[in-house]
């Protein structure tokens, strides 16, 4: 056994640990009552830190109030853990919903890009066709063919109508 790990050093380490992790007892042991000390006990130690320091027997007893306090603290901690689990579940559900939305939007975006490609292809083909075979003008290039009712309406025009014809600007 190393020299620095003798029983005195180990006892001091134990006392230090009990004082840091122990609980103050509502009902003090005889030694702590007699010497007006704080009676701190860790449930695993069986003795308070002061009795460990003195090397005396500790008669500390856990009272009903201390048991009740431990039970109520346990219930409170369990309720807090349950609430934390519910918050985690809600967060996981929100994440699942957000991921599903992202996936849906990603599919819609891909479909939109596909449609845009189709529109571009159709329009490109139409423009190429126009460049190869220009469309004929809507008005005939030759003499106009008028119906007989239109010609008959022109028969009643005075001869000077035809002499003063106006040329339309191009």
22-60 tens-digit pLDDT: 888 888 899 999 999 999 988 788 889 999 999 889 998
* Three-state secondary structure call for residue 52: helix
Per the domain annotation, does 74 fall within a domain? no
- Per-residue pLDDT of 91-142, as tens digits, reads 999 999 999 999 999 999 999 999 999 999 999 988 888 888 766 666 655 5
Per the domain annotation, does 122 fall within a domain? no
Using an 8 Å Cβ cutoff, are 50 and 35 in contact? Answer: yes
Per the domain annotation, does 18 fall within a domain? yes
Query: What's the predicted TM-score (pTM) here?
Result: 0.41
For residue 43, give every residue at least 6 positions away whose Cβ sits within 8 Å of its Cβ, in sequence order, or none.
23
Per the domain annotation, does 47 fall within a domain? yes
Q: Which run of H or of E encompasses 163?
A: helix 159-163
Per the domain annotation, does 33 fall within a domain? yes
* Three-state secondary structure call for residue 23: strand
Per the domain annotation, does 36 fall within a domain? yes
Using an 8 Å Cβ cutoff, are 58 and 47 in contact? Answer: yes
* Three-state secondary structure call for residue 40: strand
Report the DSSP beta bridge partners of residue 40.
Answer: 24
Per the domain annotation, does 56 fall within a domain? yes
How far, in Å, CA of 12 to CA of 138, rounded?
A: 110
Per the domain annotation, does 96 fall within a domain? no
Q: How many structural domains compose the chain?
A: 1
Query: CA–CA distance from 52 to each of 35, 73, 123, 152 (Å)?
Result: 14, 27, 93, 134
Asked if pLDDT for residue 170 goes beyond 60, the answer is no
Domain interval for residue 54: 10-62
Asked if pLDDT for residue 76 goes beyond 80, the answer is yes
């Amino acid at each position: 056994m190393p020299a620095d790990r003798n029983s005195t050093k180990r006892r001091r380490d134990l006392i230090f640990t009990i004082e840091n992790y122990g609980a103050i007892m509502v009902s003090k042991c005889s030694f702590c009552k007699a010497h007006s000390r704080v009676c701190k006990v860790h449930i695993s130690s069986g003795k308070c830190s002061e009795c460990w320091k003195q090397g005396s027997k500790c008669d500390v007893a856990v009272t009903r109030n201390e048991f009740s306090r431990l039970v109520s603290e346990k219930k409170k901690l369990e309720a807090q853990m349950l609430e934390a689990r519910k918050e985690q579940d809600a967060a996981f559900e929100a994440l699942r919903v957000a991921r599903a939305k992202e996936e849906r939007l990603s599919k819609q975006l891909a479909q939109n890009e596909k449609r845009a490609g189709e529109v571009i292809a159709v329009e490109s083909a139409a423009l190429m066709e126009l460049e190869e075979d220009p469309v004929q003008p809507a008005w005939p290039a030759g003499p106009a063919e008028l119906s007989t009712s239109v010609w008959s309406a022109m028969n009643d025009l005075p001869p000077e109508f035809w002499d003063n014809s106006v040329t339309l600007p191009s």
